[in-house]
Amino acid sequence: MEVGTGLYLMGLALAVGLGLPLAVIGAGLGQGRAVAGAMEGMARQPEMAGRIQTGMIIGLAFIESLVLFSFVIFFLLQGRLPTVSGQ
């Protein structure tokens, strides 16, 4: 195998393996902050809980969609990985 091909496959494998977890870490931190803020708001003003919850769910969906974009890219990249016949 050529060096270039090897480097390409290595980069591809790293991207497939690390891309999604990195996105998940970022989105997890972001969603944590969002939910913390919403909970604080609900605790301070229980009468607004319904509207805060609606807003929180929309915000969470927006943050989550970023992960899902990288999930789609993960699937596109995964299809380009060669299969290795075992042992």
Partner 1 sequence: MDGQLNALWVWTQTGIGAHVPPPVFSVLSGIATLALLLFALAATRNMQRRPGRLQNLAEITYEFFDNLAVSVVGEHGRKYVPLAGTVFLFILFSNLMGLIPPGIAPTASLNTTIALALIVIVYVQYEGIRARGLGGYLKHFARWGEVPVLLSPLLFVIEIVSELAKPVSLSIRLYANMFGKEQVTMALITALAMPIFKATFIPLPIQFPVMLLGLLVAFVQAFVFSILTLIYLALATEHHEEHHGEHAHAH
Which among 86, 78, 83, 85 has a CA at the least distance from the CA of 12?
78
Judged by CB under 8 A, does residue 5 bind partner 1? no
String of contacts with partner 1 for each residue 27-66, x by CB under 8 A: ------------------------x--x--xx--x--xx-
Judged by CB under 8 A, does residue 71 bind partner 1? yes
Residues of 42-51 as b/e, b for ≥16 C-beta within 10 angstroms? beeeeeeeee
Contacting residues toward partner 1, per CB under 8 A: 51, 54, 57-58, 61, 64-65, 68-69, 71-72, 75
